[in-house]
Amino acid sequence: MRLGFVVNPIAGMGGRVGLKGTDGKVQEARRRGAEPRAPDRARRALEALREQSEGDVDLVTWGGSMGADVARAVGFDAEVLGGPGSDPTDGDDGEPGVDGRGTADEAPPETADEAPPETSAEDTARAVEAFLDDGVDIVVFVGGDGTAADVAEVVEGTEIPILGVPAGVKVYSSVFAVSPEDAAHVVATFERTERREVLDIDEDEYREGEVHPELRAIAHVPVAEELQSSKQLGGGNVEALAAGVADDIRGSEKTFVLGPGSTVGAIKEELGFEGSPIGVDVWRDGEVLALDASESEILDALGPDGENVVVVSPIGGQGFVFGRGNPQLSPAVIRRSDVEIVASRSKLDTIGELRVDTDDPELDAELRGWTKVRIGRFERRMMRIA
């Protein structure tokens, strides 16, 4: 199998620092201390692929932080077809591994402290165009919904399948694997493809609390259980649920970290404040300690370990509790807190099982298993976190 592999190195950088995305916000994300997320996700996918493919994958990629760096680090003898700012028709005129053809071993290393370049959608499109010209069998990309749309628009009209390694803040589309390791398993084992939706949303509207997913493309995607579903909006009456949770919060001295979404939003309303609909707010003893908080602000507001509770609701249709739309709830936050999952009955009826993807495989493993989900003022339902 010949596989084209491209990384959006800035995908997801705005999440931990509370920016809800990185489109047009890279410099602001860096100013707030954001660190790259996509390179590590790419590394995990390639390491798993190397273990599972048994040498049956020929990797072609794009220069520097768009694929060559991580391919070299993992040990793939990848062919580099170009790099950021290059034209795939440049041939051998450019610097190997950056602007012209070469191998990943020839690409100049990127230091651990070096910030990823501000690559563009055009860079992603040029990479995918080069992959198609090279005759790849599948395109695997690392990024979010915007990257998925950029890739899908290039492959439109072909039957070349695409598969996403989730690294963005908003990951609504059904072209993504559940985790980097799942992406590798899909690539190594799939036998057929199906057409799936590529969705995207306007990040400026998203930051204002407006979520209107827009269909951007239909793409061929490998068929596998390890794929996530498209984002669906959960329905159902949540008033009793919200009232019950709010009553418990008022009677507690713990610190409550209230995640995004309409279900938890109803709890915030019951507590008497207007929370951030797609952000994370922190409450303790009748006081809002932080609104639309970043990871660092949440950590600063937490009480002693064991005296904090993260309240989250799974994404309808997908079942993600952590890892989609709430990267502020980082492993550091989760490890210092208990977790309370809340959801309406109707939302759970659309979800077979819950999922987590925290960027920390050990924490993911700790969270997996059967858990109680609060579905009413007093009622709970057992659900499995896969």
Domain containing 334: what range? 239-385
Strands 355-356 and 380-385: unpaired
- DSSP type of residue 100: B
Instruction: Count structural domains, the chain.
Output: 2
CA distance 300 to 153: 42
Tell me whether residue 76 is in a domain: yes
| pLDDT confidence of residue 99 | 42
Residues 268, 334, single domain; the answer is yes
- DSSP 8-state class, residue 105: G
- Closest by CA to 119, choosing from 3, 204, 36, is 36
Of 190, 222, 254, which residue sits at a domain end?
A: 222
**CA 212, CA 320: separation in Å to the nearest integer?**
19
Angle at 156 between CA 98 and CA 217, to 5 degrees: 105
Q: For the chain, give the mean pLDDT.
A: 85
Contact 72, 18 (CB under 8 A): no
Q: Are residues 280 and 380 in the same domain?
A: yes
Q: Are residues 265 and 363 in the same domain?
A: yes
Phi, psi of 281 (to 5 degrees): -120, 150
Burial 340-377 (b: 16+ CB within 10 A, else e): bbbbbbebbebbeebbbbbbbeebbeebeeebebbbbe
If asked whether residues 180 and 267 sit together in one domain, one would say no
Report if residue 284 sits inside a domain. yes
Name the least confident of 117-126, 200-209, 312-321: 200-209
Report d(CA 60, CA 68) in Å as an integer. Answer: 9
Once rounded to an integer, what is the mean pLDDT over residues 155-182? 90
The DSSP symbol for 66 reads G
- pLDDT at position 62 is 97
Q: DSSP state, 308?
A: E
Residue-wise pLDDT tens digits, 294-306: 999 999 999 999 8
Share of the chain above pLDDT 70, in %: 80
Average pLDDT over residues 56-66: 95
Q: What percent of the chain has pLDDT over 90?
A: 60
Sign of CA dihedral 160, 221, 171, 209: positive
Q: Are the C-beta atoms of residues 142 and 6 closer than 8 Å to each other?
A: yes
Residue 83 lies in a domain: yes
117 within some domain = yes
Together in a domain, 68 and 138: yes
Same domain as 191, residue 50: yes
* Domain shared by 191 and 251, yes or no: no
| Of 204 and 148, more confident | 148
189 and 44 housed in the same domain: yes
Specify whether 116 is located in the same domain as 70: yes
Mean pLDDT of 21-29: 58
Please compute, for residue 239, the number of CA atoms within 13 A of its CA located in the half-sphere on the CB side: 1
Element (H, E) at 240: helix 239-250
pLDDT on residue 249 = 96
**pLDDT-based confidence at residue 368 (cuts at 50, 70, 90):** very high
Which pLDDT score is estimated for 22?
Answer: 55
Q: Is residue 234 part of a domain?
A: no
The token pair at 86 is: 């290059």
